[in-house]
Amino acid sequence: MTDYSSLDFSPLVEISGDEVVTHCFVRDVPLAAGRTLALVTLDNGRDHTRPNTLGPVTLLEFAATLDELTARAGRGEIHGVAVTGKPFILAAGADLTKVAEIPSLETGKLLSQLGHHALGKLDTLGVPSFVFINGLALGGGLEIGLNANYRTIDAAVPAIALPEVFLGLIPGWGGAYLLPNLIGIENALKVIIENPLKNNRTLSGADALELGIADVMFTSARFLEDSITWADGVIAGTEKVSRPNAPGKVERLVKWDVAVGVARKMLVNRIGEVAKSPYVALNLLQAAKSGTRAEGFQREDEALAGLISGDQLQASIYAFNLVQKRAKRPAGAPDKKLARPITKVGVIGAGLMASQFALLFVRRLRVPVVITDLDQARVDKGVAYIHDEIAALQTKNRISPDEANRLRALVTGTTDKSLFSDADWVIEAVFEELGVKQSVFAEIEKFVSPEAILATNTSSLSVEQIGSKLKHPERLVGFHFFNPVAVMPLIEVVNTPQTDDVTLATAMVIAGKLRKNAVITRDTPGFVVNRVLAKLLGEAMHAVDTGTPFEVVEAAVAPFGLPMTPFELLELVGLTVGAHVLDTHHAAFPDRFFESDNLHKLAEHGKILERDGKGRRTGFDKGALKIVAGGTTPMTAEQILQRVEDGLVDEIKRMLDDDVVHAAEDIDLCMILGAGWPFQMGGITPYLDRVGASERVFGGTFHTPPIRGIGAAVPAASAQN
Amino acid sequence: MAERAEVVFVDGVRTPFGRAGEKGMYWKTRADDLVVKAIIGLMERNPGVPPERIDDVAIAATTQTGDQGLTLGRTAALLAGLPKSVPGFAIDRMCAGAMTAVTTMGSSIGFGAYDLAIAGGVEHMGRHPMGFGADPNPRFLSEKLVSEDALNMGATAERIHDRFPTYTKERSDRFALRSQQKVAAAYSAGKIQPDLIPVATRSESGWGLATRDEAPRPETTMEGLATLRTPFRSHGRVTAGNASGLNDGASACLLASAATAKELGLGVKMIMTSFAFAGVEPEVMGLGPVPSTEKALRKAGLSITDIGLFELNEAFAVQVISFLDHFGIDDEDPRVNEYGGAIALGHPLASSGVRLMNQLAHQFESHPEVRYGLTAMCIGLGQGGSVIWENPHFNKKAAKR
């Protein structure tokens, strides 16, 4: 077994640079009967906006502190050790800011080993160890707790989780071994694998208690006092700790492998087999069934070293930073102070999309929202839909009865456009046709003030042309949502040459109030997400049209690891919409985008995939197969993959040269938030760089240096797996 | 018509008292959190009390601003997790805040409007120095309504020394020394600790746990006391050694009607007999407990000789001496402040009243020969407050021995 104390961790310290060190402060707390508890506070000296993190210097200080406490315990000076955090925060996990700078596989491995070296000491103090989980505890932060003998938790903790798999990592400071042995394999699978993949879901204090992560929970008002009293009882032997979820013999013999097998199937189904870290975690969890703690830790060292040296982790961290940081400070956004206050919203259209807008606006802005349409019947139907949705929210206890009343009273419908006169934000969601949108805005402009901001949800038309008949085109902006409106976190805010800064600033502020991430794009066909998707879908349909079987096309793009295949995506957005998107892009860029007659026929037919009663796909629809039969020049999967990769590089390069968005980062952000493209690809451009496509197409890379792991010495073509 | 009731003191707790200021243990602890922790500790000690049966929560503070403002009784009740149906309010009578909370809640119970109530107080003198941000009406001085000394508590204590030349500085120091010694002895005997609710304390060097009062100086000597400065007057008599300090702390107690206590099976530590507040000249505010005690005795139909135990707040040694002298009690009478007092323990203004009651209640248990006890304190701007309590453990046989 690895003797962690014999390792030289200086290579990690060398790259730790400006680490914000989380210090360990020790104070003695008197217990009953003259005993003493050494209470360790983790505190980086900053406020709660800069959580404690665990970098190399921090971990070495933690290890030294525990060594000293072990010596004190040996001398009988202390009878227990407890670790807690600064207000609201235990620790937010490993400091990953330097992961991109790790120079070698060995250094990467040291990162895991240092965690085991430091946190592992909580098990060898010679006296009981406790972690009082007083606040946020993520990843390595929670693993501090898992390494201790006992845990208490504050009922008010905002979030605890092991999100490593979400980031392309595994819980490698003991978590993958300790957690299943503490709370059972099924619970551990949920925490380590399922939750990170469910949009990085986190646990509450009550969840942690129920799962058995914490032994006991106390309310926040006296959390530390109660935790100390409880620890006193445990040390004195008066407090008995029971762990009903800890796995017994039967679970290990019978349940363990079965549960892992079920989880593996679920994983393959849900995310395919491209993303590595969930499977690495799964294997570690399986192995945690038997063997010693030291063996488990050593497996984690190997596993983590492999992931740290790989490409997916670097891409994931890049993606994570985009979502966490760049999304919050959108490139090119004007000063927020320019934004106009919005006190009333008008929605033109009362169809499904329009009603969804109205619901979102009234929920988030809580201002009057008036909807309109051609006739009263459509308006009534729209208002009824919104009222039903509000009632549904109330039934699910998502909003109180008072809030429901408030929202219902704010939503009105009318065919009298004069009721729009005091709206300061008017958004349309009418039929996707230039003439219709032009005349709708021209009409509403007669009623609203000259400053009222007009927003269009077009996905494929030129916003500038939509505004060409306006007296004040400077107050028109594109505001492109993704379906389903309530769920998808992206809005493309389309800035035309006429759009003024006040309008743009208002659109950005409104997007923020709707709790969406906004990316500013130029007024070019398809903006970002649809243009990139049109490239992919166009190539996929083109391959089908030339006679390539559906399954070959699906297999061809499988190495991307996308959340769904091109044909699943087409069915999701609707085949008619899909065909329309391809047509629009073909019309705009006829030499680069394919249109597909077959897709129109498939749309008329209604489906591509064959599904069982529960909606699970079982194959390809026979009618669909008949429609696309007849192509005579099928391609191989390799050919298709290269066409798609190269085509995406070409298109994205053009978009950047044309300044559709300011940087490749914004393209990636759009694809992650608007299309759910995976972190392991870094959105799209890190992937295109690492497979060599960028090099093939324009002799360079989108990112310099490319976003790759240190294992990148292997040839690009084989680095995908 | 509400039914008149007998008022009982069920239980009382407090936080350990800290020294005010940056070096004090509560510098980074909020005032409201102190009293919230006291209330939670009180409720946990009395699991037989259904929280929804609490009729009111009265919490006192002198400087009601910032973390010590916003209708403390209500906010503290919410923060302590009491049901939203339980009301609350804030009280201010300077040093006698908690005492007034007790008498007010006691009155409500006695009148029959309430069955159960929480009364307490908090003062974080580190965060809220006495009189900070106050804007006294200029008429006080222009019309000589009060002397200039009236607003400076130390100066009022010097005025008592002026009025009674036999109360020497040496006599005050000796009283102060005894207070320190008695507190040390009480701690050794475990008399203080049972009513303390530990408080987690935060500092630059991590979390700690306050389990004892921070202010006591058991190493105090007469020689040491003699060398201290007299900050209120050059060549004066009042020093930091013979006065209570500036402190942070909170207290809370549970009052009930005798019938409710019986119904819920709650212990009774004291029975309220009578109370009174009275005014004196503000510049000798320390004399206040004399008239308030006389009034309370009169209402109770008792005389000073009926009182077997005294818990007098030691704002200043000299004002306790003035009280004892008035009633002909010796400075070292063992019935007075058996566990020591505010000179050693500290005096976080509006929280002190309940500390006196906790200590009297504790002494009642070990003194079945005593039937009546007194808690009394002086109050800034020239007032005194007194509550007379009856000992439920009183035993005639013990009294005869």
| A271 and A409 housed in the same domain | no
For residue A51, cis peptide bond before it (omega within 30 degrees of 0) = no
- Give the gap in angstroms from C-alpha B197 to the nearest C-alpha of chain A: 9
Task: Kindly give the interhelix angle for B97-111 and B352-366, rounded to the nearest 10 degrees.
Answer: 70
| A92 and A167 housed in the same domain | yes
Pick from B263, B262, B226: which is nearest to B241 by CA?
B226
A87 close to B (CB below 8 A)? yes
Contact list, A228 vs chain B (CB under 8 Å) = 198, 200, 209
Taken as a whole, chain B contains a residue count of 401
Q: What does DSSP assign to residue B345?
A: H
CB contact (8 A) between residue B209 and residue A228: yes
Residues 221-260 of A with CB under 8 A from B: 221-225, 228-229
CA distance A554 to A538: 13
Residue A330 lies in a domain: no
- Give the gap in angstroms from C-alpha B7 to the nearest C-alpha of chain A: 30
CB burial of A168-198 (b: ≥16 within 10 Å; e: otherwise) equals bbbbbbbbbbbbbbbbbbbbbbbbbbbbbbe
Residue A322 lies in a domain: no
* pLDDT over threshold 90, residue A101: no
| A344 and A456 housed in the same domain | yes
Considering CB atoms only, which of A27, A219, A229 is closest to B207?
A: A27
Q: Which of B34, B209, B213 to mutate to test the interface with A (most CBs of A within 10 A)?
A: B209
Phi and psi for A551 in degrees, rounded to 5? Answer: -65, -30
- Bigger pLDDT: A485 vs B10: B10
pTM: 0.91
B174-188: average pLDDT: 98
Considering CB atoms only, which of B40, B208, B211 is closest to A222?
A: B40
CB contact (8 A) between residue B80 and residue A26: no
Which pair of structure tokens corresponds to residue A260? 């892992």
* pLDDT over threshold 50, residue A718: no
| A512 and A534 housed in the same domain | no
* pLDDT over threshold 80, residue B401: no
Contact list, A41 vs chain B (CB under 8 Å) = 205-207
Residues 16-35 of A with CB under 8 A from B: 25-27, 29-30
Contacts A–B by Cβ distance under 8 A: 51
Using DSSP, state whether B307 is helix, strand or coil: strand
CB contact (8 A) between residue B206 and residue A43: yes
Under the banding of pLDDT at 50, 70 and 90, the label for residue B144 is: confident
Helix, strand and coil percent figures for chain A, each rounded to 5: 55, 15, 35
CB-based contacts of A83: which residues, under 8 Å, 6+ apart?
A40, A42, A122, A129, A130, A131, A132, A144, A148
Distance of CA B11 to the CA centre of its chain: 15
Which one of A522, A550, A581 terminates a domain?
A522
CB contact (8 A) between residue B209 and residue A40: no
* pLDDT over threshold 80, residue A717: no
Give the CATH number for residue A610.
1.10.1040.50
Domain count, chain A: 3
- Give the gap in angstroms from C-alpha B181 to the nearest C-alpha of chain A: 23
CA distances, A564 to each of A279, A537, B128 (Å):
19, 12, 62
For residue A484, cis peptide bond before it (omega within 30 degrees of 0) = yes
* pLDDT over threshold 60, residue B244: yes
Under the banding of pLDDT at 50, 70 and 90, the label for residue B400 is: confident
CB A678 within 8 A of CB A318: no
ipTM passes above 0.95? no
| A279 and A258 housed in the same domain | yes
| A441 and A513 housed in the same domain | yes
CA distance B186 to B216: 12
Tens-digit pLDDT profile for residues A163-175 = 999 999 999 999 9
Using DSSP, state whether B104 is helix, strand or coil: helix
Under the banding of pLDDT at 50, 70 and 90, the label for residue A483 is: confident
B121-139: average pLDDT: 90
Residue A622 lies in a domain: yes
Which one of A522, A550, A568 terminates a domain?
A522
| A473 and A533 housed in the same domain | no
* pLDDT over threshold 60, residue A713: no
CA distance B303 to A142: 65
A237-241: average pLDDT: 95
CB neighbours of residue A222 within 10 Å: 23
Tens-digit pLDDT profile for residues A5-16 = 999 999 999 888
CB contact (8 A) between residue A225 and residue B208: no
CB B77 within 8 A of CB B39: yes
Which one of A504, A522, A540 terminates a domain?
A522
Phi and psi for A21 in degrees, rounded to 5? Answer: -75, 130
Please name the residue ranges forming H helices in A288-428: 293-308, 311-324, 352-365, 376-395, 401-410
B140-164: average pLDDT: 90
Which pair of structure tokens corresponds to residue B12? 């009382």
Residue A720 has a pLDDT of: 37
CB-based contacts of B144: which residues, under 8 Å, 6+ apart?
none
B242-255: average pLDDT: 97
State the maximum Cα–Cα separation within chain B, in Å, rounded to a whole number. Answer: 62
* pLDDT over threshold 80, residue A475: yes
Residue A715 has a pLDDT of: 37
CB neighbours of residue B317 within 10 Å: 33
CB contact (8 A) between residue B207 and residue A222: no
Tens-digit pLDDT profile for residues B286-332 = 999 999 999 999 999 999 999 999 999 999 999 999 999 999 999 99
Residue A149 has a pLDDT of: 98
Residue A320 lies in a domain: no
Residue with structure tokens 């050593």?
Answer: A298
CB contact (8 A) between residue A225 and residue B199: yes
Residue A638 lies in a domain: yes
A416-428: average pLDDT: 95
Q: Print the domain residue range for A586.
A: 529-718
Residue A324 lies in a domain: no
| A533 and A458 housed in the same domain | no
Please name the residue ranges forming H helices in A396-457: 401-410, 434-444
- Give the gap in angstroms from C-alpha B209 to the nearest C-alpha of chain A: 6
Tens-digit pLDDT profile for residues A396-413 = 999 999 999 999 999 999
CB contact (8 A) between residue A228 and residue B79: no
Pick from A126, A9, A130: which is nearest to A68 by CA?
A126
Pick from A308, A347, A352: which is nearest to A456 by CA?
A347
Considering CB atoms only, which of B33, B36, B207 is closest to A39?
A: B207
Pick from A71, A414, B96, A391: which is nearest to A63 by CA?
A71
Mean pLDDT across chain A, nearest whole number? 94
Residue A719 has a pLDDT of: 35
Contact list, B81 vs chain A (CB under 8 Å) = 219, 221
CA distance A676 to A279: 20
Residues of B marked as catalytic = 95, 347, 378
The alpha carbons of chain A give a radius of gyration, in whole angstroms, of 28
CA distance B182 to B188: 10
Under the banding of pLDDT at 50, 70 and 90, the label for residue A716 is: very low
| A567 and A652 housed in the same domain | yes
| A445 and A547 housed in the same domain | no
CB contact (8 A) between residue A221 and residue B41: no
Residue A592 lies in a domain: yes
Give the CATH number for residue A272.
3.90.226.10
DSSP letters for A274-315? ---HHHHHHHHHHHTTSS-HHHHHHHHHHHHHHHHTSHHHHH
| A121 and A259 housed in the same domain | yes
* pLDDT over threshold 90, residue B27: yes
Residue A472 lies in a domain: yes
B77-103: average pLDDT: 98
Evaluate the CA torsion angle A680, A681, A686, A687 in order and state its sign.
positive
Highest mean pLDDT among A197-201, B20-24, B129-133: B20-24
CB A452 within 8 A of CB A440: no
CA distance A263 to A189: 7
| A463 and A543 housed in the same domain | no
CA distance A136 to A91: 6
Instruction: Provide the percentage of residues in chain A whose pLDDT is more than 70.
Output: 98
Pick from B149, B83, B144: which is nearest to B116 by CA?
B83
Considering CB atoms only, which of A26, A219, A221 is closest to B206?
A: A26
Residue A390 has a pLDDT of: 97
Contact list, A39 vs chain B (CB under 8 Å) = 206-209
Instruction: Provide the percentage of residues in chain B whose pLDDT is more than 70.
Output: 100
